[in-house]
Chain A
């Protein structure tokens, strides 16, 4: 009899503990849903801190994306390039997934804010030689 009472009490306490955890679990679920929907995950690189500007124009992903890291590495559409930028851009037209480069193309450049201006020279030179009219520089809001 005594054993049954003790078991019942333990069971009730356990149920009460479970019940008190329900609001906490609800909040955790809500937080999870909030972070999943509101946040976005992207590859972060310590060698690429883009400059700050007060521009309001939203950055939209384009066909041609160039990244210039603090260590001097150049990436074209996520691929590290060893050849000069102009050659690599021209090679895009004959790649497995060809990208047509024309005057209407838009080049997006992510460059590290701590680099000197001369680091942008290959991009400016390539854009000029390919007669591309629009160059976007990725920035973050001040």
Chain B
């Protein structure tokens, strides 16, 4: 009788169910899988030469990107990516020219970024971005 009574009073070892824990872990996993991004943002740096800097006005080469994918440099037209344009960029690099880049108001920003990218890849180090121009 006493044994039966003791058995009823003695705390029974309870097992904790891990099912809710696994449910929560699955939800967390889904959240992190759907919301995580792995792509690192990059940056294109443009160093603006302020007025009064040592740059000589005559050395600045102005490049204007036009909507149809051509650029105007000193009155001459070049098609971006073509051989003569690449030659022009190489000449600018050799002369250590300061490039002032602008574009037509309607030119897509992605095209401008591609041109900046191309200029940096060619070796141009002094690049200034100016406000858009009406073409």
Contacts and interface: CB of A to CB of B under 8 A. Distances in A.
Interface of A: 21, 25, 28-29, 31-32, 35-36, 38-42, 44, 50-60, 103, 108, 111-121, 124-125, 127-128, 131-141
A54 B121 contact: yes
B25 to A, nearest CB: 6
B interface bracket (residues with beta carbon within 8 Å of A) = 35 or more
Given A59-B43, A119-B109, 4 more contacts: A50-B41, A55-B117, A58-B41, A116-B108
A111 B41 CA distance: 13
A73 B42 CA distance: 22
Given A28-B22, A117-B112, A133-B49, A39 B42 contact: no
Contacts of B129: 120, 124, 135
Contacts of B130: 124
A28 B36 contact: no
B42 A58 contact: yes
A135 B129 CA distance: 9
26 contacts: A25-B25, A28-B26, A29-B25, A52-B113, A53-B42, A53-B44, A55-B42, A55-B117, A57-B45, A59-B41, A59-B42, A112-B109, A113-B110, A114-B110, A116-B109, A119-B109, A120-B132, A121-B131, A124-B130, A127-B48, A131-B50, A133-B47, A135-B47, A136-B44, A137-B116, A139-B44
B45 A111 contact: no
Contact of A136 (B22, B43, B113, B131): B43
B119 to A, nearest CB: 11
A19 to B, nearest CB: 12
